[in-house]
Amino acid sequence: MINTYQTSLAPPPVPPRLSRSQPILIPAPLPSKGHSKPLIRFLVGVLVVHLFLSLAAALYLYLRHQKEDSVRSEEKGLTSSRTSSLLSEKRGKSTKASAHMVIVNKRTRPNRSSGYLEWDIKASVRKHINYYETSWLTILRPGQYYVYSSVTFSKGDPVRPLVSRVQLRKDKDGQATVAMQASCYLKSGNSSTPNMCTATQGGLITLVEGNQLSVWVDNLSLVDYLNTATTFGMYNVEDS
């Protein structure tokens, strides 16, 4: 007997049981507005602190830069002041009045007996001191001067001593007075060996502008006119 209920088709699926519950996907709810406010406040606070720190750092750098510039300016000012002081001191030393006069080299002795010695202006050295008629030196800057003279005599005088005098007068029209005097001894008479002596003097004299000085001798014919033997000069030691 043939079984007519068998077939080659697969059996139908078993329906799900009603007792097992299936998971249902539900979307997560969005965060509420109340929870986002603290986050916003925190971010705003961070930005404010960052801005404050940036401003503080900028202010600190600016003040430090200003301080360094001030220190540099002060150091530069001190350096300039010291340099100016040294230059002024050096300038003051280099511009002090001075003179060194050498006598005119004469081959023939003058016929005049007494008078003022004449100086070789071109061969002499002067700084801030003028001359008048080749015999007088004129003071241009007041102060205390060291004045010196060295007069060499090559012949003796049987009557008068060999004397040189530094003469001082107020100005070119003033009366001359003796400021310094020196003498030397030289035996007179004919001798196979030439004799010479030098009257040397020097001292401090306070002078004012316009004062004039020169060297006077009693007998010009007895002076040695070699320019290294007879000189006259002065230099300022203290400006007034």
* Last residue of one domain, picked from the residues 94, 113, 129: 94
Same-domain check for residues 105 and 190: yes
- Domain ranges, residue 55: 43-94
Tokens of 48: 């404010």
The closest alpha carbon to 152, from 215, 234, 231, belongs to 231
Give me the residue label for tokens 């998971």: 23
First to last CA, the chain: 164
- What local confidence, expressed as pLDDT, does residue 229 receive? 87
From residue 233, give the alpha-carbon distance in Å to each of 1, 74, 111, 137, 209. Answer: 173, 46, 26, 9, 17
* Last residue of one domain, picked from the residues 79, 94, 109: 94
The answer to whether residue 226 sits within a structural domain is: yes
Same-domain check for residues 178 and 89: no
pLDDT by residue for the chain (240 residues), tens only, comes to: 455 555 555 556 655 555 555 555 555 555 555 557 777 877 888 888 888 888 888 888 888 888 887 777 766 666 666 766 666 565 555 578 999 999 998 776 676 688 999 999 999 999 999 999 999 999 999 999 999 999 999 888 877 789 999 999 999 999 999 999 999 988 765 555 568 899 999 999 999 999 999 999 999 989 988 878 899 999 999 754
Same-domain check for residues 155 and 234: yes
Same-domain check for residues 186 and 105: yes
CB 120 within 8 A of CB 126: no
Q: Give the integer Cα–Cα distance in Å for 118 and 193.
A: 28
The SS3 call for residue 123 is: coil
Same-domain check for residues 165 and 222: yes
Same-domain check for residues 47 and 119: no
Tokens of 126: 């002067």
Q: Give the integer Cα–Cα distance in Å for 73 and 47.
A: 39
Q: Which residues pair with 193 in a beta bridge?
A: none
Same-domain check for residues 140 and 191: yes
CB 162 within 8 A of CB 220: no
Number of domains present in the structure of the chain: 2
Same-domain check for residues 73 and 118: no
Same-domain check for residues 163 and 225: yes
Q: Give the integer Cα–Cα distance in Å for 25 and 17.
A: 20
Question: In this structure, what CATH number is given to the domain that contains residue 184?
Answer: 2.60.120.40
Same-domain check for residues 102 and 214: yes
Same-domain check for residues 105 and 76: no
- What local confidence, expressed as pLDDT, does residue 12 receive? 60
The answer to whether residue 24 sits within a structural domain is: no
